[in-house]
Amino acid sequence: MKSPRLPLPRTLPVLGLCLSFLAGNLIAQQGPRVGPLLTPTAPAPAPAAKPAATVVDIPPPESVQTDISEIEFDAIVRVEVDTKQPNYRVPWNVGGMSSGNGTGFLVGPNRFLTNAHVVSDSRLIYIKKVSDPKPYQARVLFVAHDCDLAMLELESDIDFETGFKGVQPLFIGGIPKLNTTVVAVGYPIGGDRISVTRGIVSRIDFRAYSHSGVDNHLAIQIDAAINPGNSGGPVLQNNQVVGVAFQGYSGDVAQNTGYMIPVPVIERFLVDVEDGKYDRYVDMATSFLNILNPAQRRALGLPNDGVGVMIAEADAAGSAGGMLKTKDVLLSIDGHPIASDGFIEIDDERVDLNEIIERKFAGDTVDLEIWRDSARVEITVTLKRFIPYLIQAVQYDKQPNFVLFAGLQFQPLDRNMMAAHNITDLNTRYFYSFYSQDEIYRERPEVVVLTEVLPDSTNTHLQNFVHRVIDSINGKKITQLQDVFDALHGDFHEEGHEEFHVIRLEGEKRPLVLKRKDSLLAHDRIMAQYNVSSDHFIERPEILELGGLIKDDEAAEPAKAEKPAPEKSGEKEPEESAKTPEPVKKAA
């Protein structure tokens, strides 16, 4: 249980994941009646037992489902945002400016919930009520890019007390039933006033969240129109919030297909931030295979009972790293038997086994029953974030990291950089695609790429080497962007080539060579010619939080310190390396 520091007053207790719950379809339970105390008498004969009646869960009529008469529209706000987009192609530039709008709604005193993508890369945020033209300046309090949710607050408490006096937060309900009607409220394109549309709950399933591009969570598909501007708005049923509108397909892909973030994901976010910070989702970082083939089950020593999935891989940096092994069979998770298709049963509904992990927080544990070497084994896994996958996630609210030297631009490999430079080099794409699977992060916490060459007489003929991975500079192994800056500005050199900067690329025998004296003069000249305001921006990469999994830099052979050398007009440039660079080690 997380210790609360910033409690969010709720007008209704929020329910956990319960796929059989339907908002508004609650059966009242009466306590014992109060009456006169009776003197005990001989017990009467017990009445004959009646057969139990079959209970059928019938949704309320559509008029009840679509009832929003108790909703205060002043609690549903228009969120106007001015953004500053980072420029990963020219990282020293400020980037482009743009603006847009979305929707949010009140969930507590001066607490507004919206989508993360509505306020990503924001520099100015205003909130407007439906009945008040005055814009109220707001700021991001918490943002969760992994589940596309954010919490805002007005910068002035006085503005909230006066502008939202008497406005009640919206009630949070549960998960709606399939084939029931919901109402989406927001400020979509096509006008400035609030919009109300209705649709049917079509599907409840795990789906990719497009904001980060790599995260998968529970999502609900509806056929109500979810257009730009609806994002962050509440989806209502029976006067309660049952979801947050967040994404949909364009008309040329699918018709009437929108998605909302369901209550379990909303509730997890609200609970996570109660202690004043967002800790992000946890992940076991394991992949598994369904075991549906009877012959395969016999080979593993399993009965043909339809239970269990086989572990294909457990990443060393994940929660189960070192505990689960390839060919282990997961039989149950927190007491829930796992079917051979990877589903478990919760509250009479079949859901993906990852739903158990979705409900938990950093530091929580999960109990697993596994089949290993023809025996049942029970283990407990402590859950944590899985950081290596971030290389393939879209990054927001960050300034691009880079080093520029003598016109050569170096950047760490990630999704934003790959898209900005449209990198197609197969060797570089290998590092990107298999960074986690092959545990490349052990030896290269950051994969550094030569992304651009600003033309100058000093770096002539180097343009053909862009988009290649840097292996070493001046004898120093490059494992993160800081190494590039240190190698070019510190006392490092390759033995016998003291007057040159020698840059070696992964998978390329020919080195890139710059004369030291010429490159220093060229650096200042290029900075002025291309109007470069800064030649580097370096942040400590999150991957270093893995600690012991990262190869110790001191174990690598240190580059030799540079010593002053007499000028030699006949100094030869370094030749091609006789050794082929060692391939990246793959996980066993």
> Known catalytic residues?
117, 148, 231
Give me the helices (H) in 284-408, please: 294-299, 354-358
Residue in 433, 440, 436 with CA at minimum distance from that of residue 418: 433
Distances in Å between the Cα of 415 and the Cα atoms of 387, 431, 438, 538 are 14, 12, 18, 17
Residue 103's DSSP bridge partners are 78
Q: Under DSSP, is residue 212 helix (H, G, I), strand (E, B) or coil?
A: coil
Residue in 500, 496, 498, 428 with CA at minimum distance from that of residue 468: 428
Q: Under DSSP, is residue 303 helix (H, G, I), strand (E, B) or coil?
A: coil
Residue 204's DSSP bridge partners are 220
Give the Cα separation of 587 and 440 in Å (integer).
9
Structural element, H or E, at residue 419? helix 415-421
CA dihedral 107, 109, 111, 113 (to 10 degrees): 10
Could you tell me how far CA 388 lies from the centroid of its own chain? Answer: 12
Residue in 389, 380, 385, 333 with CA at minimum distance from that of residue 362: 385
DSSP 106-149: EEETTEEEE-HHHHTTEEEEEEEETTEEEEEEEEEEEEETTTTE
Cα Rg, the chain, nearest whole Å: 30
**Exposed (0-12), middle (13-18) or buried (19+): which is 420, by Cβ within 10 Å?**
middle
| Intra-chain end-to-end CA distance of the chain, in Å | 37
Give the single-character DSSP code of 277: S
Give the Cα separation of 437 and 588 in Å (integer).
10
Give the single-character DSSP code of 443: T
Residue in 114, 91, 246 with CA at minimum distance from that of residue 170: 114
Q: 483 is written with which tokens?
A: 């190494």
- Phi, psi at residue 297, to the nearest 5°? -65, -40
- Phi, psi at residue 429, to the nearest 5°? -65, -30
Kindly give, in sequence order, each residue whose CB lies less than 8 Å from that of residue 42, ignoring residues fewer than 6 positions away.
Answer: none
Distances in Å between the Cα of 440 and the Cα atoms of 118, 318, 434, 445 are 34, 14, 7, 7
- Going 216 to 217 to 220 to 225, the CA torsion angle's sign is negative
